[in-house]
């Protein structure tokens, strides 16, 4: 059961010193990530042997209980885990694109039984979208790296609208990547308009937010992220949060030579994002919205993030341009963390 695997994986990732013990706070966080009611969390805590004094518990007892038939109620999220591959300009030629799609299709067919519930989406540049939608296995999705750069209502030369993307079979659109914010000057306000237009056209939105190193060093990371999140989603109705995935992408953690954000810090940030969505749009919206980690994720480190309670998937850059690595990243979701 995915929920069982997630809980066990979360125990192991928190128990970095291999003590066999977990704090009650971490156990409760692992269980809450499974969308359980407080009553269900309480009864599972007592199945794990949690005493009212709040001391650490031996999680082996809880795992034995699960293995001997104990079940976690409703222990499955409403949605699939998500893995997006942002190609940026990584492939520039149709022959290379066709070869790469052929490889992804082949690897997908070979692995799909073992992947579980993972939604895979490739994000190529505009010009390849139609071609890729025709060639990529239909079990995988296609998304655009951008949509609609023009001011409101202006049907301007060179603009690609959300409706156009929808008509060629895109499901997702990536908005707010730091390349576009920091190099091309996209503001939170412009992104809010784009988010609205894309949702109105029936697309799902993958909203990227992230702080620069200078912002993090000044101690302003969480405030900056919440500002990016709340401004860009200001007009999103509560019912639409199931069509949004928020990708936390620390700008300092992406690309060659960068160090990924630590799993502990990633969980801290994601939990603040989830709390913010819950406060603004309600708990059901916060549960429906997927929170993705992005920044130097690869086939070696993905399992450390996949088991975190508030990580619902990834967007990968470099690893998304290698079919083996991409499938290996997909395979980590819902699996116990590597020790």
CA–CA dist 125, 128 (Å, integer)? 6
Q: Which of 37, 182 has the CB closer to ligand PEP? A: 182
* Site membership for ligand PEP, residue 296 (CB under 6 A): yes
Shortest Cβ 208–ligand PEP spacing (Å): 8
Q: Which of 182, 223 has the CB closer to ligand PEP? A: 182
* Site membership for ligand PEP, residue 210 (CB under 6 A): no
Point out the residue whose Cβ comes nearest to ligand PEP: 317
Query: Three-class SS of residue 245?
Result: strand
Shortest Cβ 255–ligand PEP spacing (Å): 5
> Among residues 4, 115, 118, 13, which one has the least CA distance to residue 337?
13
Q: Cβ neighbours of residue 60 under 8 Å, at least 6 residues apart?
A: 20
- Catalytic residue of the set 26, 177, 186, 211: 177
* Site membership for ligand PEP, residue 294 (CB under 6 A): yes
Residues of span 230-289 touching ligand PEP by CB under 6 A: 249, 254-255
Residue 297 Cα distances to 240, 262, 270, 332, angstroms? 28, 11, 16, 11
CA–CA dist 97, 90 (Å, integer)? 10
Shortest Cβ 301–ligand PEP spacing (Å): 11
DSSP state of 58: E
In this structure, are residues 176 and 189 in contact, taking their beta carbons and an 8 Å threshold? no
* Site membership for ligand PEP, residue 86 (CB under 6 A): yes
* Site membership for ligand PEP, residue 84 (CB under 6 A): no
Query: Three-class SS of residue 297?
Result: coil
249 is catalytic: yes
- Catalytic residue of the set 5, 119, 249, 299: 249
Query: Three-class SS of residue 279?
Result: helix
Give me the active site residues, please.
177, 249
Site residues, ligand PEP (CB under 6 A): 86, 249, 254-255, 294-297, 315-318
């Amino acid at each position: 059961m995915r929920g069982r695997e997630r809980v066990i994986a979360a125990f192991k990732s928190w128990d970095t010193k291999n003590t066999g013990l977990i704090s009650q706070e971490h156990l409760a966080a692992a269980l809450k990530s499974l969308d359980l009611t407080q009553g269900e969390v309480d009864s599972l805590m007592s199945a794990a042997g949690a005493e009212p004094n709040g001391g650490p518990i031996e999680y082996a007892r809880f795992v034995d209980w699960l293995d001997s038939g104990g079940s976690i109620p409703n222990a499955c999220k409403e949605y699939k885990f998500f893995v997006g591959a942002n190609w940026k300009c990584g492939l520039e030629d149709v022959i290379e694109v066709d070869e790469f799609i052929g490889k992804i299709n082949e690897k997908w067919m070979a692995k799909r039984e073992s992947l579980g519930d993972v939604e895979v989406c490739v994000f190529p540049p505009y010009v390849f979208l139609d071609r890729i939608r025709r060639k990529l296995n239909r079990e995988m999705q296609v998304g655009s790296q951008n949509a609609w750069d023009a001011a409101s209502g202006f049907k301007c030369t060179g603009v690609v609208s959300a409706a156009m993307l929808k008509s060629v079979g895109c499901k997702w659109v990536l908005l707010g990547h730091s390349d576009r914010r920091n190099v091309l000057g996209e503001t939170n306000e412009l992104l809010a308009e784009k988010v609205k237009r894309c949702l109105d056209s029936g697309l799902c939105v993958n909203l990227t937010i992230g702080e620069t190193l200078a912002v993090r060093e000044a101690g302003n990371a969480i405030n900056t992220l919440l500002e990016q999140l709340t401004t860009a989603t200001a007009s999103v109705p509560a019912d639409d949060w199931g069509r949004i995935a928020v990708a936390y992408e620390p700008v300092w953690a992406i690309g060659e030579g960068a160090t990924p954000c630590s799993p502990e810090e990633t969980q801290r940030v994601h939990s603040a994002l989830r709390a913010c969505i819950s406060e603004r749009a309600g708990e059901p919206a916060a549960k429906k919205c997927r929170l993705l980690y992005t920044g130097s994720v690869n086939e070696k480190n993905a399992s450390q993030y996949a088991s975190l309670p508030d990580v619902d998937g990834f967007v990968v850059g470099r690893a998304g341009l290698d079919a083996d690595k991409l499938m290996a990243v997909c395979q980590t979701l819902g699996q116990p963390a590597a020790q």
